[in-house]
A and B are shown apart, each in its own frame.
Chain A
Amino acid sequence: MLTIIDGGRAVDVEARVAGDRVLLTPEALREGLGWELHEGTLCNDSMCVPLPAGSSLASGGPLDLAEVAAALDRPLAVDVVERAVYLGASARERADTLRSLLAPDFTLPDLAGRSYTLADQRGKKVLLVAWASW
């Protein structure tokens, strides 16, 4: 088993570890991350991305998770001993969004567990403050 953490959600899938590589079946990739291979592209419910030139993903063998992350342009942190991986957010996507100056939206809870969404404040000027007790 392997735990894949993606977007704050952890999913357990079947996987094989070979050295520092994590190998998935196409079924595990679909279950764990929602991506499927279609003739040289990776697709999920909303989009398709082409595989990079020379990607081994097109070979028909087990799918190297590092190559999947590379194709998606996303960082992958791997712990082969604990069999857990974390798929992060693409630097390019984050940078492009910030460059657009449209404030990235988020929904977070307060102490009482009530959820607030930034976009609900449209029509007001917002001072957004990140702080911490540390």
Chain B
Amino acid sequence: MWQALYEELKAHAFVVITVALDKSAEDARPWIEKASPTHPSLIDTQHVMADLYNVVNVPTVLWIDERGRIVRPNDVVFGTDTFKHITGLESARPLAALRAWVRGETAGYAPTEARSLQRLPTTADQQARAEFGLGDWLARHGRPEAAERHFVRAGELAPHDFTIRRGSMPIRGLDPMGPPFRAMRDAWAAAGQPYYVPLPDTRG
């Protein structure tokens, strides 16, 4: 998916960089080996990129121009329609928009508009990331009960941040595809909150 798109468009001075927000390279390895990417395919076990870009769920995609400027902030785009029946998000339109931008047929967002579409991290969001970071360190140092306190606290502080709430599940021995995830997602939906927050023109 992202690999095919990269191969299709790489002649246009374009690169795809994927970042796996997984607890270990081994968790991401089967997916990466299956995709055999020729673009940089990176592993971010400490959520460095998530912290810098205020990434709160996956997938999250951004467009960055040749000068290193964000011209399309955090959006939710799937490379295929495999999960369309669950997510309600189609890939065709956002991928067509991406192709047009890469080929130089369209521009990204102007700065004012790009800023108006950004969601910036709050003090509570950053406190949540610190709690997650401490939980992660404690878990890696054999103190799972202590780690749990901080993962729970992080989720309370930033209930919309699923890189924390779902991303911590494999570290905590919870199934991120199973009942704990479904209970969390259903409770969030029952509270009237969206699990995915795409940009308005992706949502359609």
Interface size class of A (residues with CB under 8 A): 35 or more
Across the two chains, which residue of chain B brings its CB closest to A88?
B130
In the complex, chain B residues whose CB is within 8 Å of the CB of A10:
137
Q: A75-B127, A77-B133, A103-B64 are in contact. Are A132 and B167 (CB under 8 A)?
A: yes
Query: For the complex, what is the distance from the CA of A123 to the CA of B25, rounded to whole Å?
Result: 29
Query: For the complex, what is the distance from the CA of A133 to the CA of B177, rounded to whole Å?
Result: 10
Q: A5-B133, A98-B120 are in contact. Are A130 and B54 (CB under 8 A)?
A: no
What's the dominant secondary structure at chain A's contact region?
Answer: mixed
Q: Which residues 1-57 of B sit at the A interface, judged by CB distance below 8 A?
A: 2, 5, 12-22, 25, 27-33, 40-44, 46, 48-55
In the complex, chain A residues whose CB is within 8 Å of the CB of B67:
122
In the complex, chain A residues whose CB is within 8 Å of the CB of B176:
134
B60 with A130: CB separation less than 8 A: yes
- B122-149: CB near A (< 8 Å → 1, else 0) gives 1101110111011001100001001001
A131 with B19: CB separation less than 8 A: yes
Query: For the complex, what is the distance from the CA of A103 to the CA of B69, rounded to whole Å?
Result: 5
Tell me whether A41 is interfacial, beta carbon within 8 Å: no
Query: For the complex, what is the distance from the CA of A120 to the CA of B203, rounded to whole Å?
Result: 32
Tell me whether B169 is interfacial, beta carbon within 8 Å: yes
Q: Which residues 96-128 of A sit at the B interface, judged by CB distance below 8 A?
A: 97-99, 101-104, 106, 108-111, 116, 118-119, 121-128
Tell me whether A47 is interfacial, beta carbon within 8 Å: no
Query: Count of chain B residues with Cβ under 8 Å from any Cβ of A?
Result: 83
A129 with B17: CB separation less than 8 A: yes
Tell me whether B199 is interfacial, beta carbon within 8 Å: no
Across the two chains, which residue of chain B brings its CB closest to A81?
B146
Across the two chains, which residue of chain B brings its CB closest to A118?
B17
Which 4 pairs show the lowest CB-CB distances between chains A and B? A88-B130, A134-B176, A86-B134, A104-B52
Residues on B close to A: CB < 8 A? 2, 5, 12-22, 25, 27-33, 40-44, 46, 48-55, 58-71, 73, 98, 101-102, 111, 114-115, 118, 120-123, 125-127, 129-131, 133-134, 137-138, 143, 146, 149-150, 153, 163, 166-167, 169-170, 176-177
Residues on A close to B: CB < 8 A? 3, 5, 8, 10, 74-79, 81-82, 84-91, 94-95, 97-99, 101-104, 106, 108-111, 116, 118-119, 121-134
